[in-house]
Amino acid sequence: MQGKICLEEHLSTAEYDQIWNSGGEEARNGAEYMAEVRRRLPDAALRLADMDRFGIETMILSLTSPGVQGITDTRRAIAFARHTNELITDKFVRPYRGRFYAFANVALQEPRAAADELERAVRDLGMKGALVNGFSNIGDADTAQYLDEPAVWEFWERVAQLDVPVYLHPREPLPGQRRIYEGYPALVGSAWGFGHETGTHAVRLMLSGLFDRYPNLRIILGHMGEGLPFLLPRLQSRLYMQRRGIGLGNAKKTVGEYFTRNFYVTTSGHFHTQALLNAIAELGVEHVMFSTDYPYEHAETGARWFDEALISDNDRLRIGRENARQMFHLT
C-alpha cells in the first residue's frame, strides 16, 4: 500500500543525547542494535529513504522515551521542551513539508507550563498534539506524577480546549518498582515492562473520571493497545464484581466504554495479524492506525506485514492512512 501514514516514529537530538545516555539500553538490547538505532534517530535522509522504499508518505515524529518526562529539574524540563519543539520544527518539519509532522514535548512536571507549551506548539508551530512518555519525574528518578492525578487536570483542560490527541507512550517503570524483573533485565523495557506500565497508566485514566469531565479527549496507545484489547474485558468484569469494594475511582462509566470512545491504538512494533483483528473487533476499525516504531523496529518489517495482512482493502486504507489523515487534519 502506498501513502501510509504512521505516528509512533522516534527521533533524537544532540542535546537530548547528552541528557539521556542510558548504558542500560546497550546492555539490555545489544550494543550493535543500539548503535544502529542511534545512527538513525537524528538522520532525516535515512528515514526518508526507508519511507520511500516501503510506501510511507508521512511520519508524525516524537522525541524518544523517556523524553522530557525523565528530566528531574522542572525548570530545565520546561526550557528543554520549548527548545526541542522548535528544533524539531526547524530540522524535520519545515524542510520536508508533508513528509514530517511532530508531536509536542510538554514538561508535565509543571502542568500549567505544559498546557501553555502545548498551545504554543499547536498554534504557532503546527504540531499535531502531544506525546507524553508515561509518568513525569519530579525531583529525582524514583518519583512519579501520573497523568490522572489532580495536579495534571489543568493540562487536560487545555488539551480538551485545543481538541488535539495525546499519545501515551511507554517508559520504564520506576527504579523502586522493578523487583519483579530482577534477574531478567531484558524484561524491564520494551519487551515487557513498557506494556505493563502503560496499560496500567491508561486504566488509571479510565477510572479517574477524567473522561466524564472532558469527554472529547482522545488518547492514543501504541503496540496494539499495550495488551488492553485482550485484557480489558476481564478487568471490567472483575471491577463490576468488586463494585461494593474500595479503590474503584470516580468514573461514571465502565472501562470498556471509555476505551471504545476515547482511545485509539496503533500497530507500532506489534506486527501480528491476529492481534490486529482483535483490536478491530474491540475498538472498531476507525480507532486503529498504522505505525512502525522506527527506528527501534524496521520500517520494512512493519510495512510489509501490514501490506500483506489478511484484512479487507477498505480496512487497510482506513488503518494505513485515512484514520490518521482525518484525526490530524492532514491534506
Mean pLDDT of 168-175: 96
Confidence band for 26, pLDDT divided at 50, 70 and 90: confident
CATH topology of domain 4-327: TIM Barrel (3.20.20)
Classify strands 219-221 and 166-169 as parallel, antiparallel or unpaired.
Answer: parallel
Which amino acid, 165? P
DSSP lists the bridge partners of residue 59 as 6, 100
Confidence band for 28, pLDDT divided at 50, 70 and 90: confident
Query: CA 148, CA 229: separation in Å to the nearest integer?
Result: 21
Longest dimension (CA), the chain: 57
Query: Is pLDDT at 27 greater than 80 in this prediction?
Result: no
Is 70 in contact with 133 (CB distance < 8 Å)?
Answer: yes
Look up the pTM and report it.
0.97
Q: Where are the alpha helices (DSSP H) in the chain?
A: 14-19, 23-29, 31-40, 44-53, 74-88, 111-125, 153-162, 193-207, 210-213, 228-241, 255-262, 273-283, 299-308, 313-317, 323-327
Among 156-165, 241-250, 264-273, where is mean pLDDT lowest?
Answer: 241-250
- Per residue in 214-258, pLDDT tens? 999 999 999 999 999 999 999 999 999 999 999 999 999 999 999
State the residue for C-alpha cell 494505513: 320
As a whole number, the mean pLDDT across the chain is 96
Query: CA 27, CA 169: separation in Å to the nearest integer?
Result: 22
What SS3 string covers 22-75? Answer: CHHHHHHHCHHHHHHHHHHCCCHHHHHHHHHHCCEEEEEEEECCCHHHHCCCHH
Confidence band for 119, pLDDT divided at 50, 70 and 90: very high
Is 152 in contact with 145 (CB distance < 8 Å)?
Answer: yes
Query: Is pLDDT at 21 greater than 70 in this prediction?
Result: no
What pLDDT is stored for residue 29 in this prediction?
81
Query: Is pLDDT at 126 greater than 60 in this prediction?
Result: yes
Angle at 221 between CA 171 and CA 113, to 5 degrees: 65
Angle at 212 between CA 138 and CA 220, to 5 degrees: 60
Which residues are marked as active site? 293
Query: CA 102, CA 81: separation in Å to the nearest integer?
Result: 13
DSSP lists the bridge partners of residue 104 as 130
Confidence band for 25, pLDDT divided at 50, 70 and 90: confident
Among 12-26, 117-131, 215-229, 286-300, where is mean pLDDT lowest?
Answer: 12-26
What pLDDT is stored for residue 81 in this prediction?
98
What pLDDT is stored for residue 19 in this prediction?
81
Domain ranges of the chain: 4-327
What pLDDT is stored for residue 23 in this prediction?
54
Cα-only R_g, the chain = 19
State the residue for C-alpha cell 520500517: 299
